[in-house]
Every structure is written in C-alpha cells, then in structure tokens.
Amino acid sequence: MKSNWIKSFLNLPFTQPSKNTARIQSTENLFKRLVVDVLDDDFWGSKVSVIGNSILIVAIFISTFDYILSSGTGGILVSNPFLEGFVVALFTVEYLLRIVFASSLGYAARTSYLFSFYGIIDALSLTPLLLDVLSLPLIGGLGALRILRLWRVARYIPSFNVISNAFNSRKEDILTSFLGVTLLSLTLSALMFHYESAYATCSFNNILEVFVWSIGKYTGDYGSIAEITPISEMGKIIATVNGFLGIALFAVPAGLLASAFIEQLEEKRRKQIIDDRISAISKHFAKKTGGGKDFKFTAFPRFASLDFLQVKFLLSEPEVMETIRESKNLRFRALKSKPENAYSDIRIVESFQTNCSYGFRQFNEESKVVLINAIGENERGISHLAFTLAAGLTVNYIAREVLLLNHDQAPVGGNTSKDYELYLQGETQALNPALVDFLSDIESFDSQTYFVILSSAASGRSDFVVEYGNDLGSTEFVEGKTSLNSEKDLTELTQILEKNMHNVEYQGANKVRLAYNFTSEQNTIGNRNSNSLHHLVQQKTGGNVVSIYTNIKILTGENNRYYAACTALSSIIEGIQDAMKTSKFT
C-alpha cells in the first residue's frame, strides 16, 4: 500500500494544468497557480497539492489535539512559541488566500466563500487563535471554537459530500415539512395556553413556553424544560397531540434526510459501477495496437463496435449506452457496413483525448507546424487520424473535441461558423468562452508558423482535397487570396504533395505489403468566406495555412487504406517540417 502511494505521488504532475486557460494566457502568475492548486481541495491533483494539503492537515490535527489534550488551555503539543506562531500564520494566510482567489476556487464571488459552510468554519476556528496571539481575552466559550478546525478536514474526504448532497436533494421537502409541523404545533400550543390560562394555578406565561414545553416533554426532556404538568382536561388532550407533533418536528425531516442519504449512497454505488466500466473500456482504447507492428507511429484502436464491447465486457446494450453517455472521453458514432449502403447500420464507439476547455491541445515550442482539428466532436474518424499524426510527429496540435453551444444553445465551431466573424471583429464577449480559448490558442502562434487544418471530404470527392484559399479551381498563386506567403511556398507545397501521394506502402496485420496511389484535387471546396476557420487563421496569424480534407470513405473504411492514408499525410507534414527547418518556406 505504501509503495502504491509513493508510485501514485511520483506519477503526478508538479502542478495541475489549467483546463480553462488559453495558451496565450498560460504564463499566468506561477504563485497563483500554486495557491489554487493547493486550495482547490483536490488532494491528489499534483505533487504541489499533496505536499501543501498534507502540511495543512498535519497542522489542523496538531493544533486541534493540542487543545483537546490540554483541557482547553493548550501548550502540550504546541509549546514552542515559534511553532505556535507558525500554525497561526499558516491558517491566517490560508484563509486570506482563499478570500483573494475565491473566484479561481469555484466561488461566484469572494462573499460567496465568506458565507459558505467552509468559509464560516474557517473564520470561526481562526478567531480563538488570533485572540490568543493578540493577547485578547476569550469571551465565554469562544475558545471551544478551536474544535471546529477538525471540520476543515472534511474538505479532503469525498464521503462527506454524500451528506451535503443528500440534504440539498431534499432541502425543500425537509424545510416544508419542518415549517408545516412547526406552524401546526404553534397553533395547538396557542389552544392549550387558552385552556390552561383559565386556571389561576397555570404555570405557563405565554404560548412560546407551551410550545417549548411540548417539544421537551416528548423528546426526553434532556434540558429539564418540561417539568410543568397541564391542569385542564382539554389541555392534557392537546398536550398529548402536541407532543406527538413535537416528535414529528424532528422525525419527519430526519426520515426525509435518511431517505435522501440512502438514495445518495445508491447513486454513489451506481456511479462507481459506471466509472469501473468506463475505466475498463478506456483501457481497451489505451492499447497501442492500432496500425499494427509495422505502422510508423504508435496508434490506439480506431473504434470498437457496440456488439464487441457487449461481448468483451459482458454488458447489456443499455449498460453500454449508459457508460458511454456518462463518459467524458467516449462517444457513439454510426457507420455503414458497405459504402453503397444508403444508411448507417453499424453502431461504434470512439475514444478521444481531452485536456482543456474545448478538447485537446499539445504544444511543442521547437515545432513550427500546427495541426488543427475543428470537427472532431461531430465527424467520424478525424479525431483518431489527427491525434495519431500529432502524437507521432510531436507537432503542435489544437483539437475541438467537445460540443460548444452559443447563447441560443446552437452548436458553434467547425470549419465554418458565424462566431468566427465575430472573433475577427473583436466581439468576443458574446462568444462561448471555450471557443475563445480554442481561437486564442490558434492566434497565439506567429507568422513563422505553418498551419495544417485537417478535415473530412464527401465520399464523391478525391482521396484528398487540398485548399489554400484560392477561388474554385484556381491553382496559381494569387496575391491577396492564396493563404501561403509566396509563390515559392506554393511551389514547395505542390512538390511535397506530388512526392507523397503515390506508391504509399503499408504493411498490415496480415504481413502483406500494399502500395496505394491516392488521388487529390485542389481548391474545389472553397474556404475564403469570412466565416471560415481557414480565413480566420490566415487573418489572425499571417502564417502559411493549408486545409487538407480526407475522404470520409478513408476515415471510416478498412484499416489498410486508412493507415496508408495516415502514412501519406505524415510524410506530407514531415516534408513541410523539413522545409521549415531549411528555410524553404518564407
């Protein structure tokens, strides 16, 4: 167990990478990153988080048990003035940092933290310490607030969330029942006081005393608040009924809370089962078996059929559907078993990578090539192709892998989008923040960068369609239209394409080496519109931009042709990289 903990710690990143910060802003203050990493309550988030939170937890236990063992006077475990000052300073600084960075810790505002459960606990538990340091007298039992410090450990125990979730799920029911029983009990208390006050020997001074008495009488009277006995016959009858209501005052909310607690435990077990299924399926996709042993890169499986997953993991169809629906890195697709079929008749599952707000990004400062995949969320096969190329070539990679919606709940992004026009105009406030991150990451590269936008082409087109900003059918360099910086760059690109499209060899699992000649066409789709991603990239960066569309038949077809196409594309991109290094591109 100890070795497993050490291994888990060593495998953690130094700091937890931000998923919501664009590359152009990734040089944010290191101090802020470290503070948020420690205070975000994710104990195993990073090495910094483990070390920082361990120090806080040890300080909490030492200072709390020092108070307990010393019968409230302190000084047994923390007797050194320097150590005592360190503990006080540690908790004070932590509290202040939680206030300063409240928005980065998931709170809507600083006041949201101050009046949250843990915010109040932090403030109350810190008060006696500060009064001690300032040599101010403690009022009454204020010193006992030190014990609240133990509640802070609940931050690091996920099981405590079950209790809060249970209350929140039945909060309205509990409050309604509590209020209803209270009002009814108050009404009966008023009636009882009316009958009792008719006697001169009545010991009740007001209705509130009757109400408190009825609660105390039938809940054990642990506080000795129910020593009075009703005098009138009607008062005794009402007192009996009111006593039952006094029990209900606590029993009904407690029953609702217990029911909600059981539901939360069942939901937690259900999620654990689903997480185990997700983990098992993800391990299948993590196997480096895609492309075979002779493929030039390490590749993961392209996809798995629904039937395959059912058989392999002994799951029913609803269980597989539920698992994929709950997963953040798995999704359903539909394929045709034969190209000539009019409709898709095979259901498959794809795996994809995510590490940021819009999907996945990979940066290599030594590379001047950027691969962009803007349609991974909605197109079959392109995510696997693009990721395999990016990982194998270790180039910069930016991929939109998650569904992004605008204010009208309509999907945004892709190869074309009206939101791209707004971004070009600088109107980013109305845009989806994740889309802004996606475009900001692209814009963060300079004019010395070569952008390759990967996409899919319709089945009726050539194997590859290459676009570089010209009018339809035009293949000559046109100043102001061609999205390459010079005629020399276009000539170099054309030579690279011609060299790597033909006689592409690939050896599959059957050990038979096959050679493919891929067809291509240039500027037959058109992407110079102001709402195209191609246009945006060229306008914002000034770098060379080329879009390469791979035929959907290749993206969804058999493995040999697919991996041969992947080999051809990798050779093209390698050719671009080599040309960039030798300054063949301007």
Are residues 407 and 455 located together in one domain of the fold?
Answer: yes
Q: Work out the average pLDDT over 41-50.
A: 80
CA-nearest of 368, 331, 528, 553 to 461 is 553
Query: Tokens representing 139?
Result: 């009022």
Are residues 461 and 542 located together in one domain of the fold?
Answer: yes
C-alpha–C-alpha distance, residues 352 and 414, integer Å: 17
Are residues 111 and 183 located together in one domain of the fold?
Answer: no
Q: Work out the average pLDDT over 25-40.
A: 73
Query: Tokens representing 110?
Result: 């600083």
- Give the pairing type, strands 304-305 and 346-351: antiparallel
CATH number of the domain to which 519 belongs: 3.40.630
Residue 325 reports pLDDT greater than 80: yes
220 or 293, which is more confident: 293
Q: Which of 103, 132, 157 is the last residue of a domain?
A: 157
Are the CB atoms for 519 and 460 separated by under 8 Å?
A: no
Give the pLDDT confidence score for residue 585 in this predicted structure.
Answer: 62
- Residue 201 CB-density burial (10 A; 0-12 exposed, 13-18 middle, 19+ buried): exposed
Q: Work out the average pLDDT over 31-55.
A: 83
Amino acid at 42: D
C-alpha–C-alpha distance, residues 535 and 533, integer Å: 5
CB atoms < 10 A from the CB of 158, how many? 11
Are residues 95 and 198 located together in one domain of the fold?
Answer: no
Element (H, E) at 36: helix 30-39
Residue 143 lies in a domain: yes
28 or 392, which is more confident: 392
Q: What's the pLDDT band for 17 if we cut at 50, 70, 90?
A: low
Residue 512 lies in a domain: yes
List the single range of 24-28, 304-308, 388-392 with lowest mean pLDDT. 24-28
Residue 139 reports pLDDT greater than 80: no
Are residues 144 and 214 located together in one domain of the fold?
Answer: no
Are residues 411 and 533 located together in one domain of the fold?
Answer: yes
* Beta-carbon contacts of residue 44 (< 8 Å; ≥ 6 apart): 8, 12, 50
CA angle 500, 503, 509 (to 5 degrees): 105
Q: What mean pLDDT value characterizes the chain?
A: 84
- Give the pairing type, strands 504-507 and 450-457: unpaired
CA distances from 537 to 102, 110, 451, 453, 523 (A): 35, 38, 8, 10, 17
Q: In angstroms, how far is CA 435 from the centroid of its own chain?
A: 16
Give the pLDDT confidence score for residue 203 in this predicted structure.
Answer: 80
Element (H, E) at 24: none
pLDDT digits (tens, 9 = 90+) for 514-561: 899 999 999 998 767 889 999 999 999 999 999 999 999 999 999 999
Are residues 145 and 186 located together in one domain of the fold?
Answer: no
Domain that holds residue 203: 171-269
- Residue 212 CB-density burial (10 A; 0-12 exposed, 13-18 middle, 19+ buried): middle
Residue 424 reports pLDDT greater than 70: yes
Are residues 420 and 547 located together in one domain of the fold?
Answer: yes
Give the pLDDT confidence score for residue 71 in this predicted structure.
Answer: 59
Are residues 137 and 222 located together in one domain of the fold?
Answer: no
User: 465 in helix, strand or coil?
Assistant: strand
C-alpha–C-alpha distance, residues 79 and 265, integer Å: 43
Residue 363 reports pLDDT greater than 60: yes
Q: What's the pLDDT band for 321 if we cut at 50, 70, 90?
A: very high
Residue 287 lies in a domain: no
Are residues 101 and 197 located together in one domain of the fold?
Answer: no
Residues 409, 412, 416, 418, CA torsion sign: positive
Residue 369 lies in a domain: yes
Are residues 222 and 143 located together in one domain of the fold?
Answer: no
Q: What's the pLDDT band for 112 if we cut at 50, 70, 90?
A: confident
List the single range of 71-75, 317-321, 401-405, 565-569 with lowest mean pLDDT. 71-75
Number of domains making up the chain: 3
List the single range of 13-17, 157-161, 319-323, 412-416 with lowest mean pLDDT. 13-17
> Dihedral of the CA atoms 312, 310, 375, 442 (nearest 10)?
-50
Q: What's the pLDDT band for 312 if we cut at 50, 70, 90?
A: very high
Share of the chain above pLDDT 70, in %: 88
Residue 535 lies in a domain: yes
Residue 131 reports pLDDT greater than 60: yes
CATH number of the domain to which 255 belongs: 1.10.287.70
Are the CB atoms for 321 and 581 separated by under 8 Å?
A: no
Are residues 131 and 208 located together in one domain of the fold?
Answer: no
Q: Which of 157, 184, 208 is the last residue of a domain?
A: 157
Q: Which of 133, 157, 181 is the last residue of a domain?
A: 157
Share of the chain above pLDDT 90, in %: 40
Give the pLDDT confidence score for residue 27 in this predicted structure.
Answer: 47
Residue 22 reports pLDDT greater than 70: no
Helix 171-196 and helix 160-169: axis angle, to 10°? 70
Token look-up 């259900």 returns: 270
Give the pLDDT confidence score for residue 440 in this predicted structure.
Answer: 94
Residue 327 lies in a domain: no
CA-nearest of 490, 458, 479, 478 to 556 is 458
Residue 19 reports pLDDT greater than 60: no
Residue 289 lies in a domain: no
pLDDT digits (tens, 9 = 90+) for 187-244: 888 888 888 888 877 888 888 888 888 777 666 666 666 677 788 888 888 877 876 7
Residue 176 lies in a domain: yes
